[in-house]
């Protein structure tokens, strides 16, 4: 059967919370900075979009070093939300970003209280280039915040409600897999007005140095990412996509065009790529270029036609 598609972009484009993306590939927060380093390597406007570095109200140095450790088919990190704080992001980072990236960008927001999440979103809300808020209630590497909000449906709902009050931009809640029932958390966020759900954040893990007999990370534990977590991420995306009506963004161990297709079939509208950016800086660009051929091989005309195909 002949295809009458105008161009490859028609085949790859998806709509995430009302905003059209040229393709579903999103560089994940914490692995892409504010895009500058990658913009020196290729035109990052090829991306669907990217989620910039997690932002808190005040500057954060992060956790003590060492805070990165290797593991087979992945890595552990305990960076601890190092960032310059929302005021400097607005004054310095966003103007620089606007010069190199000409699409709506996703703002990843973290906090240590419901009030902090709301304050950061309210400060960023007036920035025109921000298309979506990705609210990180799932970071396992900080004390007194982060994942604690994402493991309790009541607290997850509370943060969602507070953020929705201060912005009309789409709010996507980023969830942790370190729970018994991730669909329950997603439904609690949806009930309070979340426009989308992104998952998964990293899996809580640790390694021990056999020579020193001490944990490899100064933080003791960290978040595991990379290809090893991909099957867990697919399972979580599938469960959440079955449970909610809002769009789902899938991430966790994505390393190929085949992985992107699998995530979409599991129910994801868009797909974030994280840890692989650190070892293969061209990975997002290459996957975008490989998607049309992969779709041809699998008999897929448009990516939008296979969202949730496995459900």
Q: Determine the straight-line distance between the first and last CA of the chain, rounded to whole angstroms.
A: 26
Residue 3, pLDDT score: 42
Higher pLDDT, 306 or 148: 306
For residue 150, name the pLDDT band (cuts at 50, 70, 90).
Answer: confident
Domain membership flag for residue 230: yes
Indicate if the pLDDT at residue 141 is higher than 60: no
Within 10 A of 184 (CB to CB), how many other CB atoms are there? 14
Is residue 236 annotated as a catalytic residue, yes or no? Answer: no
What number of residues does the chain have? Answer: 311
Indicate if the pLDDT at residue 144 is higher than 60: no
- Cα gap 45→184, rounded to integer Å: 36
- Find, among 135, 134, 124, 111, the residue nearest to 57 by Cα: 111
The number of folded domains in the chain is: 1
The parent domain of residue 204 ranges over: 8-62+81-208+226-306
Domain membership flag for residue 247: yes
Domain membership flag for residue 76: no
Answer for the pair 53, 35: CB distance below 8 angstroms, yes or no: no
Could you tell me the two tokens for 204? 């809580």
Domain membership flag for residue 236: yes
Helix/strand/coil (H/E/C) assignment for every residue in the chain? CCCCCCCHHHHHCEEECCEEECCCEEECCCCCCCCHHHHCCCCHHHCCEEEEEEECCCCECCCCCCCEEEECCEEEECCCCCECCHHHHHHHHHHHHHHHCCCCEEEEECCCCHHHHHHHHHHHCCCCCEEEEEEECCCCCCCCCHHHHCCCHHHHHHHHHHHHCCCCCCEEEECCCCCCCHHHHHHHHHHCCCCEEEECCCEEECCEECCCCEECCCCCCEEEECHHHHHHHHHHHHHHHHHCCCCEEEECCCCCHHHHHHHHHHCCCEEEECCHHHHCCCHHHHHHHHHHHHHHHHCCCCHHHHCCCCC
Residue 7, pLDDT score: 60
**Mean pLDDT to the nearest integer, 51-67:** 94
Domain membership flag for residue 214: no
Q: Which residues pair with 251 in a beta bridge?
A: 272
Higher pLDDT, 43 or 7: 43
Provide, rounded to the nearest whole percent, the portion of the chain with pLDDT above 90.
90
Indicate if the pLDDT at residue 134 is higher than 90: yes
State pLDDT tens for residues 244-301: 999 999 999 999 999 999 999 999 999 999 999 999 999 999 999 999 999 999 999 9
Within 10 A of 245 (CB to CB), how many other CB atoms are there? 7
Residue 139, pLDDT score: 61
**In CATH, what number is assigned to the domain containing residue 256?**
3.20.20.70
- Catalytic-labelled residue, pool 139, 189, 236, 284: 139
Q: Kindly state the greatest CA–CA separation across the chain.
A: 64
Domain membership flag for residue 70: no
């Amino acid at each position: 059967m002949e295809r009458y598609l105008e161009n490859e972009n028609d085949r790859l484009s998806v709509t995430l919370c009302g905003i059209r993306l040229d393709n579903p590939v999103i560089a994940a927060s914490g692995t892409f900075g504010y895009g500058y380093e990658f913009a020196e390597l290729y035109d990052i406007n090829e991306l669907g979009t990217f989620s910039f570095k997690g932002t808190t109200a005040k500057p954060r140095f992060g956790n003590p070093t060492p805070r990165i450790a290797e593991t087979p088919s992945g890595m552990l990190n305990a960076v601890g939300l190092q960032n310059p704080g929302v005021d400097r992001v607005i004054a310095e980072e966003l103007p620089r970003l606007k010069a190199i990236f000409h699409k709506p960008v996703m703002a990843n927001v973290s906090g240590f209280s419901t009030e902090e999440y709301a304050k950061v979103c309210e400060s960023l809300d007036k920035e025109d280039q921000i298309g979506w808020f990705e609210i990180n209630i799932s970071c396992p590497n900080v004390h007194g915040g982060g994942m604690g909000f994402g493991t309790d449906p009541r607290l997850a709902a509370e943060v969602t409600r507070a953020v929705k009050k201060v912005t009309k931009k789409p709010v996507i809640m980023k969830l942790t897999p370190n729970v018994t029932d991730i669909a329950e958390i997603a439904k609690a966020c949806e009930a309070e007005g979340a426009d989308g759900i992104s998952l998964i954040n990293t899996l809580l893990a640790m390694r021990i140095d056999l020579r020193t007999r001490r944990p490899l990370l100064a933080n003791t534990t960290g978040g595991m990412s990379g290809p090893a977590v991909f099957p867990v991420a697919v399972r979580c995306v599938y469960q959440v996509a079955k449970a909610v009506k809002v769009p789902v963004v899938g991430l966790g161990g994505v390393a190929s065009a085949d992985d992107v297709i699998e995530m979409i079939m599991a129910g994801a509208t868009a797909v974030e790529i994280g840890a692989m950016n650190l070892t293969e800086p061209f990975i997002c660009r290459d996957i975008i270029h490989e998607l049309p051929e992969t779709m041809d091989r699998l008999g897929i005309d448009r990516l939008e036609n296979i969202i949730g195909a496995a459900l």
